[in-house]
Amino acid sequence: MTCTSRATGPITEGVNPKVTWICISVGSTIGGLVPNLWGAGALSTSGLLGVLLGAIGGVWLAVKLS
């Protein structure tokens, strides 16, 4: 009896990896620059949180585009 499993889950099925990485890159860049509007540094807590939220938003956008 053979058991095969897929590494991808149902959410990421059919998502182009290039589109995903482009969206993550753009989202994290924009998310990291937004705190600069109110004078926060790039390595501040709000800057790192912006990068994280931007990357999550990029993954969400990539899934919606695919």
- pLDDT per residue as tens digits for the range 4-57: 555 555 566 678 889 999 999 999 999 998 888 888 877 888 989 999 999 999
pLDDT at 25: 95
Within a 10 A sphere around the Cβ of 33, how many other Cβ atoms? Answer: 14
pLDDT for position 4: 57
Q: Please give the average per-residue pLDDT across 53-66, as a whole number.
A: 92
- Entry pTM: 0.73
- DSSP letters spanning 32-51: HHGGGGGT--TTSHHHHHHH
Task: With beta carbons less than 8 A apart as the criterion, state whether 21 and 57 touch.
Answer: no
| Predicted local distance difference test score (pLDDT) of residue 53 | 94
